[in-house]
């Protein structure tokens, strides 16, 4: 991944993840951070290969977590639709589900 793509992905992240990226950068004593009223700036062309690799790994981790969250959210919505269908009049209809504990009576 080139530096421009890394920059774009970090800029699109939520503030929480941007702070985590800043923490990663701050751990490396050779990384120079410039701060002003507009934010914190880093000259990425001066980052070492190991720091770039850490950033790429963190970006991949965040992307993977976002995909997992979206998958879980879709599953939740599907279950909600399946078991709590809303009828035209707005009343909720619940489905009776038999849950077996595996024991035979």
Domain-located, residue 51: yes
Domain-located, residue 34: yes
Q: Give the pLDDT of residue 84.
A: 78
Task: Give the C-alpha separation, 42 to 48, whole Å.
Answer: 12
Domain-located, residue 49: yes
Is the pLDDT at 12 greater than 50, yes or no?
yes
Per-residue model confidence as pLDDT tens digits over 47-60: 999 999 999 999 99
Q: What angle do CA 62, 3, 9 make, to 5 degrees?
A: 30
Is the pLDDT at 69 greater than 90, yes or no?
yes
Domain that holds residue 58: 3-87
Domain-located, residue 36: yes
> Count of domains in the chain?
1
- What average pLDDT does the segment 85-90 reach? 50
- Closest-CA residue to 24 (of 47, 1, 3, 5): 47
């Amino acid at each position: 991944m080139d530096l421009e793509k890394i920059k774009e992905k970090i800029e699109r992240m939520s503030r929480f993840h941007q702070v985590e990226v800043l923490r990663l950068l701050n751990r490396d004593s050779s990384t120079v951070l410039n701060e002003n009223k507009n934010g914190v700036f880093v000259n990425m062309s001066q980052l070492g290969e190991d720091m770039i690799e850490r950033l790429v790994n963190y970006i991949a981790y965040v992307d993977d977590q976002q995909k997992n969250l979206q998958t879980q959210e879709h599953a939740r919505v599907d279950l909600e639709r399946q078991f709590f269908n809303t009828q035209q009049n707005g009343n909720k209809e619940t489905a009776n589900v038999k849950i077996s504990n595996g024991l035979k009576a």
